[in-house]
C-alpha cells in the first residue's frame, strides 16, 4: 500500500535554490506525497520561482503574514499535513530520487516509527565537498539530549503513531526540540545510506547562526529550559555535555 508522505518545507529568501529542492521532490521514485511549502515573508522572488510548480496539485504553497521563523513555519505545515509519514526538506537542500522509497521500505520492514539517514554536503554553488555525515545506529532519549546527531533533511516519522508534533517558537534548534518530542514516543533509527544533500551556506540559510558553533550553546540551554522544562542547573549540565559531543560527532560521524 502506498501511504501518503507529507513533506515539510519552510522557505525564506531561497529563490536561488528552491526550484532544485522542489524538483528533487518531484523526481522521487515514490510518488504518493504532498509538499507543503511555507514561505516566511521572503524579500526575494521566491513567489515567482514557486508559481510554475503549483500546477502539480501535490504542491501546496502557504505564506506567513509576518516573518516568524522556521519553527512557526514548520508547525503550520505539520498542522495541515495529511500523510501517515512526515518528512522534512529545507528549501535549499536536495533529496536523491530514491530517498522516500528506501526510507519508507526501511521503516516498514523493521516496524520503525522514527528514522534518519546519512547526508552529503554541498557548497553553496552546488559543488560536492566529499563530506558525508552519519550518526549512531539508534538514538534514544539520552543520546538525543547529548547532541543532535540527526540531519533535519533526512528525518521521517510515522505521524499516526507519534501524533501531531508542535514546538515552541525557538529562534534556533527548533528541529532538535521537535526530535526531543518525537523520541518520547519512539527511538530514532539510522538508515545507513546517503540519500540527501545538505547545502552549506555562509549566510542566509534557515539554519545559519552568526558567531559560529560555540555561539549555539546559548540556544541549546534555552531549548532545554523551554522545551524540556529543565531546571537551570540541569539545562546547563546538558549544554556543557553538548560541547564535547559536538566535537566527537565531527571525529566519529563526519566522513571525508
Distance separating alpha carbons of residues 239 and 224, to the nearest angstrom? 8
Cell of 148: 543532535
Distance separating alpha carbons of residues 18 and 46, to the nearest angstrom? 8
Task: Average the pLDDT over 240-255 and give the result.
Answer: 94
Give the pLDDT band (50/70/90) at residue 2: confident
Distance separating alpha carbons of residues 28 and 45, to the nearest angstrom? 26
Q: What is the mean pLDDT of the chain?
A: 93
pLDDT of residue 216: 79
Q: Tens digit of pLDDT for each residue in 51-97?
A: 999 999 999 999 999 999 999 999 999 999 999 999 999 999 999 99
Distance separating alpha carbons of residues 215 and 234, to the nearest angstrom? 19
Distance separating alpha carbons of residues 214 and 88, to the nearest angstrom? 26
pTM of the model: 0.93
Least confident among 51-55, 69-73, 175-179, 205-209: 205-209
pLDDT of residue 211: 46
pLDDT of residue 213: 59
Q: Tens digit of pLDDT for each residue in 13-49?
A: 999 999 999 999 999 999 999 999 999 999 999 999 9
65 versus 205: the higher-pLDDT residue is 65
Percent of the chain with pLDDT over 90: 89
Task: Average the pLDDT over 150-168 and give the result.
Answer: 95
pLDDT of residue 169: 85
16 contacts: CB under 8 Å, gap ≥ 6 = 44, 92
Q: Tens digit of pLDDT for each residue in 92-103?
A: 999 999 999 999
User: Is 137's pLDDT higher than 70?
Assistant: yes
All domains of the chain in start order, with CATH: 5-255 (3.90.550.10)
pLDDT of residue 214: 64
In terms of Cβ atoms closer than 10 Å to its own Cβ (0-12, 13-18, 19+), residue 101 is: middle
Distance separating alpha carbons of residues 73 and 84, to the nearest angstrom? 20
In terms of Cβ atoms closer than 10 Å to its own Cβ (0-12, 13-18, 19+), residue 91 is: buried
Alpha helices per DSSP H over 111-167:
141-146, 159-162
CB neighbours (10 Å) of residue 71?
21
Task: Average the pLDDT over 106-125 and give the result.
Answer: 97
pLDDT of residue 212: 54
Beta-carbon-side half-sphere exposure of residue 158 (alpha carbons within 13 Å): 17
3-state secondary structure of 218: helix
User: Is 209's pLDDT higher than 90?
Assistant: no
User: Nearest 5°: phi and psi at 255?
Assistant: -105, 130
Amino acid at each position: 500500500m502506498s501511504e501518503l508522505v507529507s513533506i515539510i518545507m519552510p522557505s525564506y529568501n531561497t529563490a536561488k535554490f528552491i526550484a532544485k529542492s522542489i524538483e528533487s521532490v518531484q523526481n522521487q521514485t515514490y510518488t504518493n506525497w504532498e509538499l507543503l511549502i511555507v514561505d516566511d515573508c521572503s524579500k526575494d522572488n521566491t513567489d515567482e520561482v514557486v508559481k510554475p510548480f503549483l500546477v502539480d496539485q501535490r504542491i501546496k504553497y502557504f505564506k506567513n503574514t509576518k516573518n516568524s521563523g522556521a519553527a512557526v513555519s514548520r508547525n503550520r505545515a505539520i498542522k495541515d499535513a495529511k500523510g501517515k509519514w512526515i518528512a522534512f526538506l529545507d528549501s535549499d537542500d536536495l533529496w536523491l530520487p530514491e530517498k522516500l522509497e528506501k526510507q519508507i521500505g526501511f521503516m516498514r520492514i523493521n516496524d520503525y516509527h522514527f528514522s534518519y539517514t546519512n547526508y552529503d554536503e554541498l557548497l553553496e554553488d552546488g559543488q560536492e565537498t566529499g563530506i558525508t555525515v552519519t550518526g549512531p545506529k539508534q538514538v534514544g532519549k539520552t543520546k538525543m539530549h547529548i547532541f543532535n546527531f540527526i540531519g533535519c533533511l533526512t528525518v521521517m516519522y510515522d505521524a499516526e503513531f507519534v501524533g501531531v508534533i508542535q514546538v515552541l517558537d525557538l529562534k534556533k534548534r527548533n528541529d532538535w526540540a521537535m526530535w526531543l518530542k518525537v523520541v518520547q514516543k519512539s527511538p530514532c533509527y539510522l538508515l545507513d545510506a546517503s540519500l540527501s544533500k545538505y547545502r552549506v551556506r555562509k549566510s542566509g540559510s534557515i539554519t545559519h547562526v552568526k558567531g559560529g558553533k560555540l555561539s549555539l550553546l546559548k540556544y541549546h540551554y534555552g531549548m532545554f529550559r523551554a522545551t524540556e522544562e529543565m531546571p537551570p542547573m540541569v539545562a546547563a549540565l546538558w549544554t556543557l555535555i553538548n560541547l564535547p559531543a559536538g566535537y566527537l560527532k565531527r571525529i566519529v560521524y563526519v566522513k571525508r
